[in-house]
């Protein structure tokens, strides 16, 4: 058997050619494994907790001199949506 687990998608910055290369290489490896007769599985990931995105938002807040602990949930989410609009479309 041959398995590739795709890292979870998240909004951690602008998309770039590295994202394309990563997905292309995974596709090539899985297709090659299938052509060799292996039971190949390509599993997309999910980031249920958005941990990587949260880390980026916290870093952005830190640059602005804001501590996450000083914000309400709603206040933090406003900054998270701001980040998403800038980097995630």
- 79 band by pLDDT with thresholds 50, 70 and 90: very high
Task: State the Cα–Cα distance between residues 19 and 21, nearest whole angstrom.
Answer: 5
**For the CA atoms of the chain, what is the radius of gyration?**
18
* Residues making up the chain, counted from first to last: 89
Predicted TM-score (pTM) of the model is: 0.56
CA dist 12 and 18 (Å) reads 13
In terms of Cβ atoms closer than 10 Å to its own Cβ (0-12, 13-18, 19+), residue 57 is buried
Q: Is the pLDDT of residue 37 over 90?
A: yes
Residues 51-76 have a mean pLDDT of 94
The DSSP H or E segment spanning 13 is: none
CA-based max dimension of the chain: 56
């Amino acid at each position: 058997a041959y398995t590739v687990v795709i890292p979870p998608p998240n909004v951690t910055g602008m998309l770039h050619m590295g994202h394309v290369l990563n997905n292309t290489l995974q596709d090539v490896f899985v297709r090659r494994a299938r052509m060799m007769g292996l039971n190949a599985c390509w599993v997309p990931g999910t980031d249920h907790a958005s941990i990587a995105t949260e880390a980026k938002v916290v870093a952005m807040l830190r640059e602005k001199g804001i501590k996450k602990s000083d914000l309400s949930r709603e206040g933090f989410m406003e900054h998270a949506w701001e980040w998403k609009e800038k980097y995630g479309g």
